[in-house]
Amino acid sequence: MGALAAGSLLTGAASAGAAPAKGTAAEYLVFYAPGARDDALAAIKGAGGTPGAVDAKLGYVLARGAGAGFAERLGASASIVGVTADRRIGAATSLAASGASRTASTSTAAASAATTGAAASTAGADPLSSRQWDMKMIGATASGSYAKARGNKKVLVGIIDTGVDGKHPDIAPNFNRALSRNFVTDRPNDPNGKELDGPCEVKSCKDPADVDDDGHGTHVASTIGSPLNGLGVAGVAPDVSLVNIRAGTDSGFFFLKPVLDALTYAGDAGIDVVNMSFFVDPWTFNCANNPQDSRAEQLQQKGVITGVQRALDYARARGVTLITALGNGSTDLGHPTVDKESPGYPLGGERERKIDNSCVNVPAESRGVISVSALGPSGRKAWYSDYGIEQTDLSAPGGDPSDSGTSLKGNAREILAAAPEKALRRQKLIDASGKPTGPSVVRDCRNGRCAYYQYLSGTSMASPHAAGVAAILVARFGKPGKGGLALAPATVERLLYATATPTACPASGSTRYSVSEETHVCAGSRAKNGFYGHGIVSASRAATVKG
């Protein structure tokens, strides 16, 4: 999406749009129909390609093919259901400040830049808990869920994101290094020579599994499960195990294959809950049969829809509860009409096309996922958050700098969570001495330890609240299983909805957002509507509900 008053939106910032140039060989993920592997291999050869590794779990072949017509030739076979080039195709869904890091805070004033040696934490709270209005909203406080249910180290929460800083002092006590994996090889530049991830930090260009050079994934992990340790902040479920399942690049973009690999690994490793604060595809909306798209583009979108759905189904069948950010497009996903942001790659390739509700945002509108909208501190739907009565399952605090229905100001209206020092230095958000250069970053120092925290907004910040509540439920009701505890995703989903706080649409049925000059209409009842879904997630209710 384009730059707006509060910053640019990342739900369509990068992609894998066009086919390779004529005569240029490229790698494709070729998805075949059930039982049609052999026919697909023959079709690849018949189209002039070379088949490679076969992923029998998700039903696709890695193939090399040359020429702009390779995908179309493949698509002529009844055995092929999708053909997607294995290139950069996704983006993390947090907001970004104009001219700053893509995960930097979007607002300007208010909170102090550093807290060094401040008052000690109160019983059952951490020193910066007073800044966590989000935890108060869902009852994750000393007098709420912390007193009754904090999760369990046997509960494994996977963060499919840009990585997790496993050495961060407010992440490390709960970081499961043994199970963490990185499925991404950084790319210094894109195919056109423009900088993507920048210089590789290690020779192999594949970072260790405890590194986050972007900061997005660390913020998400912190919201889910930063420990109650007398430093900084605490997460929704401060006693769970955090597992980095990295699928995003340093620059915050995602490739299809790492996403598929991450979801498959989550199912195989016994992960209980995964948080997906990203969307996949160069197309903000994936349309399988849009007549305005070329045949190659249709096949590409079918490949993403099919591949991600198969990976989600694989993980869910193995006990993984799937939670995702709804998106920052400020759009009623039940009634989309125009997509002006796609395909976002190669750069400058965007065009306007008419769309309808047959077009979907992946994974937010995929089957079997729990999609979460974002709220500001007043409880109002955040201006940027996507919505829709079919699509919104739950709501949670995600921050909104424009929310005037609260006494909080500026950055204090956003979500505060852990940030990697290295990423902040690169973004020039802290200076050479370690002092924050602005109000979007907070430093907390205790007993010779210092750690950094960042204010961010986005549906990326909302979904980890739901993931944390899901982890509490798994800890309370799960039975011994692979990896530790296990609870059927359908049961987790039922309990999440049952413990959410039902919230009605605005009295007028709509909300006017001055920052975007839009009116968003909320449809549905108090029990289920387009802004809040089944309600606002509640850690305190999850801590006391009877299974």
Catalytic residue among 460, 463, 538, 540: 460
Spatial CB neighbours of 335, under 8 Å, sequence gap ≥ 6: 357, 388
pTM to 2 decimal places: 0.91
CATH number of this structure's domain 25-86:
3.30.70.80
Q: Which of 8, 214, 216, 281 is catalytic?
A: 216
CATH 3.40.50.200: which residues of the chain? 3-12+93-542
Is it true that the peptide bond before 346 is cis, omega within 30 degrees of 0? yes
Start and end residues for every CATH 3.30.70.80 domain found in the chain: 25-86
Find out whether 278 and 325 touch, Cβ atoms under 8 Å. Answer: yes
Continuous segment of H or E residues that includes residue 128: none
Q: What is the DSSP secondary-structure string of 222-235?
A: HHHH---SSSS---
User: Which one, of 529, 213, 219, lies nearest residue 399 by Cα?
Assistant: 219
Distance CA(516)–CA(196), nearest Å, equals 29
> Which parts of 270-379 fold into alpha helices (H)?
295-317
CA–CA distance, 333 with 388 (Å, rounded to integer):
5
Fold adopted by 3-12+93-542: Rossmann fold (3.40.50)
Exactly one of 55, 126, 161, 400 is catalytic; which is it? 161
User: Tens of pLDDT along the chain (547 residues)?
Assistant: 222 222 222 322 233 334 444 446 789 999 999 999 999 999 999 999 999 999 999 999 999 998 668 999 999 999 999 999 876 545 566 665 432 222 323 332 233 344 444 443 445 799 999 999 999 999 999 999 999 999 999 999 999 999 999 999 999 999 999 999 999 988 777 666 777 678 888 888 899 999 999 999 999 999 999 999 999 999 999 999 999 999 998 877 788 899 999 999 999 999 999 999 998 857 889 999 999 999 999 999 999 999 999 999 999 999 999 999 999 999 999 999 999 888 866 666 789 999 999 999 999 999 999 999 999 999 999 999 999 999 999 999 999 999 999 999 999 999 999 999 999 999 999 999 999 999 999 999 998 889 999 999 999 999 999 999 999 999 999 999 887 899 999 999 999 999 999 999 999 999 999 898 999 999 999 999 999 999 999 999 999 999 7
Q: Do residues 390 and 89 lie in contact, with contact meaning Cβ atoms separated by under 8 Å?
A: no
Catalytic site includes residue 460? yes
Across the beta sheet with 3-4, what order do the strands follow?
A: 3-4, 7-9, 95-96
Q: At a CB cut-off of 8 Å and minimum separation 6, what does 405 contact?
A: 376, 377, 378, 379, 380
